[in-house]
Amino acid sequence: MAHLKSFSIKLLFFSLFTLAMLCFWRQFASDRFQSDLMFPLLVFFIVSTFLIHFILVRVADKDPKRFVGYYMGITAMKLFGYLIIITLYALLNRQAALGFTLIFMLLYLLYSGFEVVMLLKHFKS
């Protein structure tokens, strides 16, 4: 439980940093690269990162041999799910698709990197 609290605090600070980057993006990027869903996307990535981390750490604590399979499965499902979200949004709202896709991919890369770093730190300790 202590690890989950520590992870939550780190996720909070990382998310505040990411929020500052998004505010900077909103201020200086062209309207073409904006999305009205910027902040809901941030909340989506915060929640999904927390849930995925919680599941993976729980699996690793119960049976470390199953961790790799779970990690690969969750990563594949996450990637395909996110691609479906981007594709559906682009098909339903073509004029705003560029901004949505750029912000979505930026958040995907940031939060995936954060997730990997946090998992590596967890398993080193």
**pLDDT tens digits for 57-86?**
999 888 888 889 999 999 999 999 999 999
Q: How is residue 35 annotated by DSSP?
A: -
Answer for the pair 114, 14: CB distance below 8 angstroms, yes or no: yes
Question: For residue 29, what are the domain limits?
Answer: 2-124
Distance between first and last Cα of the chain: 14
Give the residue ranges of the chain where pLDDT is below 50: none
- Tally of structural domains, the chain: 1
**Cα 101 from Cα 20, distance rounded (Å):** 19
| pLDDT number for residue 100 | 95
| pLDDT number for residue 1 | 66
**Long-range Cβ contact pairs of 16-22 (< 8 A, separation 24 or more):** 18/42, 18/107, 18/110, 18/111, 22/103
| pLDDT number for residue 15 | 97
Answer for the pair 114, 18: CB distance below 8 angstroms, yes or no: no
Ramachandran category for residue 87: left, alpha or beta (phi over 0 → left; psi -120 to 50 → alpha):
alpha
